[in-house]
A and B are shown apart, each in its own frame.
Chain A
Amino acid sequence: GQNIDQPTEMTATEGAIVQINCTYQTSGFNGLFWYQQHAGEAPTFLSYNVLDGLEEKGRFSSFLSRSKGYSYLLLKELQMKDSASYLCAVDPNNAGNMLTFGGGTRLMVKP
């Protein structure tokens, strides 16, 4: 089976940095994705890692270690609008691009 774990909730302060961790155990690995989902809305793509290391995109960075089955999403200079759920998803095979999602981490940014 596929297993993706991430914390349920986190709280951080506006302007700060927050790191959201994700660990995975899947039958295969073809890439790890981070999505942002505001309440009642669709997931929107943030980042994609398929090789080990850090991918930086503006205020958001994502890190992957395939040997450890571990990723994190780093959000810098937090803004109130960053309050949302952050979903870690793994593509476990190369055939059908099926994303397996974790339960999501609900981030609350406080002033």
Chain B
Amino acid sequence: EPEVTQTPSHQVTQMGQEVILRCVPISNHLYFYWYRQILGQKVEFLVSFYNNEISEKSEIFDDQFSVERPDGSNFTLKIRSTKLEDSAMYFCASSEGNNEQFFGPGTRLTVL
């Protein structure tokens, strides 16, 4: 069964450093997303991406965040200058259309 994959599973970084989280969505899906979940809190939408551009973004997704689809398979989330409060689990998801979103296993980001 096709699945969304994410690397790395765990990333530790120093405050102020840049991180890139990587995702490979399901191959025939057209919509891609990033969500985050701070430990013990709810899942929060960050951004959706379709047809090589951002279609929606939340207030969390400020100028420190960017997304890119550098090739036909990868979808990345970059945080330019990490803050302590960016520590969270980051989930990538993809969907065929306006229907169920399939989530990847997540990248746990720890900012020290």
Chain A: residues with CB nearer than 8 A to chain B?
30-31, 33, 35, 37, 41-45, 48, 87, 89, 91, 93-104
Contact of A41 with B105 at beta-carbon distance under 8 Å, contacts A98-B45, A100-B45 already known: yes
Give the residue name and chain of the A residue nearest to B32 (CB): A97
Residue interface bits B16-51, CB-to-A below 8 A is 1, else 0: 000000000000000101010000011111001010
- Alpha-carbon distance A38/B94, docked complex (angstroms): 20
- Alpha-carbon distance A35/B105, docked complex (angstroms): 14
- Asked whether, in the complex, the Cβ of B48 is within 8 Å of the Cβ of A97, the reply is yes
- Alpha-carbon distance A44/B50, docked complex (angstroms): 22
- Asked whether, in the complex, the Cβ of B58 is within 8 Å of the Cβ of A98, the reply is yes
B residues within 8 A CB of A95?
55-56
What are 14 of the A-B contact pairs (CB < 8 Å)?
A33-B100, A41-B106, A42-B91, A43-B91, A45-B101, A87-B42, A89-B43, A91-B98, A95-B55, A97-B31, A98-B48, A99-B45, A101-B44, A104-B43
Question: B15 to nearest A CB, angstroms?
Answer: 24
Other-chain contact of A96, B56, B99, B105 (Cβ < 8 Å)? B56
B residues within 8 A CB of A41?
105-106
Other-chain contact of B99, A35, A48, A103 (Cβ < 8 Å)? A48
Other-chain contact of A104, B42, B98, B100 (Cβ < 8 Å)? B42
B75 at the interface (CB under 8 A from A): no
Other-chain contact of A87, B33, B43, B48, B106 (Cβ < 8 Å)? B43
- Asked whether, in the complex, the Cβ of B44 is within 8 Å of the Cβ of A97, the reply is no
- Alpha-carbon distance A30/B99, docked complex (angstroms): 10
- Alpha-carbon distance A88/B48, docked complex (angstroms): 19
- Alpha-carbon distance A74/B104, docked complex (angstroms): 25
Contact of A45 with B100 at beta-carbon distance under 8 Å, contacts A96-B48, A103-B42 already known: yes
- Alpha-carbon distance A92/B103, docked complex (angstroms): 19
Give the residue name and chain of the B residue nearest to A37 (CB): B43
- Alpha-carbon distance A95/B106, docked complex (angstroms): 25
